[in-house]
Structure formats: structure tokens, C-alpha cells
Chain A
Amino acid sequence: SQELEQSPQSLIVQEGKNLTINCTSSKTLYGLYWYKQKYGEGLIFLMMLQKGGEEKSHEKITAKLDEKKQQSSLHITASQPSHAGIYLCGADINAGKSTFGDGTTLTVKP
């Protein structure tokens, strides 16, 4: 998606390491979602952020939305093989439908 830039495109980390995935837009985001997808499966909703400066955590995954509501980061602490998959950000930019980043493929080496 040109409206949502996600980086990096892929990431290989050693088990136990921390990592960060970024999602950036040139427009104000009215709702920012993070999803995880295992290969060949559907997307699983992780977290939603709506307010500038908002931060949410679930287990070892933390997502933040900046004050301007144009950038979000997803941070995984002490990565595990179970964290491997494709992470996508999605956002409400146009009324009524979401747009998605192209995804970040995460590989965690044991």
C-alpha cells in the first residue's frame, strides 16, 4: 500500500532478541490496527490504537501510536519462535474501509 509504509519488509532475529516493526502514513490515522498472519492462514487481530500517544501491550508485544497519529511501532521483547509470521498494520484512512501495509515477515531463529 502506498498509503501505509511498513518497514522492514522482512526481519530475521535470534530467539531472545528484541525487535521493532514500523508503520508510517503521510495522513492522520483514525484507527491503527496490528495483525499477525501465519503462513497460509487468515489475519489475527492483535491490537488497535486510536489516540495519539497511545500504547498497548499484550504479553511480549507492545504497540504505540505517535502523538501526530501518523506512525505506529510494534515492539516484541525477547522474541520466540511462536512470534514468527507476517505482521501487518491496517488503518482507517478513507471513510468506511481500511488500508493495509504490505507486511513484515518475521523469522525467529532458535
Chain B
Amino acid sequence: DVKVTQSSRYLVKRTGEKVFLECVQDMDHENMFWYRQDPGLGLRLIYFSYDVKMKEKGDIPEGYSVSREKKERFSLILESASTNQTSMYLCASSSGLSGVYGYTFGSGTRLTVV
């Protein structure tokens, strides 16, 4: 089975801290994605990557950055965490240029910024 592993299920951080959310997939997928999920707003794409060292902004990239040094790992970075970044963060991966084969999601990281 394809696995997408997110390093933490729950995380509590203080305002202003630098936060790293890690995501690792084990199926050699080219594409990786970071979403945040908030009640009433659905899934919103933060950043995505088609290949190592490549990254593209999604719909809400402000306040975030990403790193993809290796194909299997896609990290989301909150440079200076703020309370409005409290959310559920979901990582996903897919194969193929258009993601037409569907996404495999990680279990999510629920981040609380206090």
C-alpha cells in the first residue's frame, strides 16, 4: 500500500515560532501537495511540487514555504507561526503529471498556535 506519513498528529506551537511539518511518501510519486483544512473552507492548497527542488504556489501560500530536497520528502515551513495558522494540515502525493490517478493523503497534522 502507498503510504504517506506525516511526522506529527498533533502539534502545539507558540506565536512567532518556526514550525516544520514533515511528510514522507514511499511510492516514488512525483507530485506532492500540502493542504490546510478548516471548517467551512474545505481543503485549500498551500504549495505543491512536481519534482525534487521544484515548488509551486497554491491558493494560499502566504506565511508558508516548502522544501523538497528529496523525492520522498516534502516539508512545509511556517516561518513565524501565527494564530490564524491553527488548522489541520494534510499532505498528499500522486503519480503522473496531472495527478489523474488520485491522491494518497497522510493522516494529517492538527496544529494549534497559541
Query: Could you list which residues of chain A lie within 8 angstroms of chain B, going by C-beta atoms?
Result: 1, 30-31, 33, 35, 40-45, 48, 50, 88, 90, 92, 95-98, 100-103
The smallest beta-carbon distance between A31 and chain B, in angstroms, is 4
Closest to A40 in B: B110
The smallest beta-carbon distance between A52 and chain B, in angstroms, is 15
Across-interface contacts of A42 in B (CB, < 8 A): 4, 6, 90, 105-108
> Are A35 and B100 in contact, with the CB atoms below 8 A?
no
8 A Cβ contacts from B22-77 to A: 31, 33, 40-43, 45, 48, 50, 56, 58
> Are A31 and B100 in contact, with the CB atoms below 8 A?
yes
The smallest beta-carbon distance between B106 and chain A, in angstroms, is 5
A33 CA to B108 CA in the complex, in Å? 19
> Are B100 and A92 in contact, with the CB atoms below 8 A?
yes
Query: Could you list which residues of chain B lie within 8 angstroms of chain A, going by C-beta atoms?
Result: 4, 6, 31, 33, 40-43, 45, 48, 50, 56, 58, 88, 90, 92, 97-108, 110
**B31, B45, B58, B103: which has the most chain A beta carbons within 10 Å?**
B103
> Are B42 and A103 in contact, with the CB atoms below 8 A?
yes
> Are B42 and A96 in contact, with the CB atoms below 8 A?
no
Across-interface contacts of B88 in A (CB, < 8 A): 40
A44 CA to B99 CA in the complex, in Å? 16
8 A-B pairs (CB sep. < 8 Å): A1-B42, A33-B102, A40-B110, A41-B107, A43-B90, A90-B103, A96-B31, A96-B56
> Are A48 and B101 in contact, with the CB atoms below 8 A?
yes
Minimum-distance CB pairs A-B, first 9: A102-B42, A43-B105, A42-B107, A42-B105, A100-B43, A31-B100, A42-B108, A33-B102, A48-B102
A42 CA to B112 CA in the complex, in Å? 17
A98 CA to B43 CA in the complex, in Å? 10
A101 CA to B37 CA in the complex, in Å? 12
Apart from A31-B100, A42-B107, A92-B98, 14 more pairs, CB < 8 Å: A30-B100, A31-B99, A41-B108, A43-B92, A45-B103, A45-B105, A48-B102, A92-B100, A96-B50, A96-B98, A96-B99, A97-B99, A102-B42, A103-B42
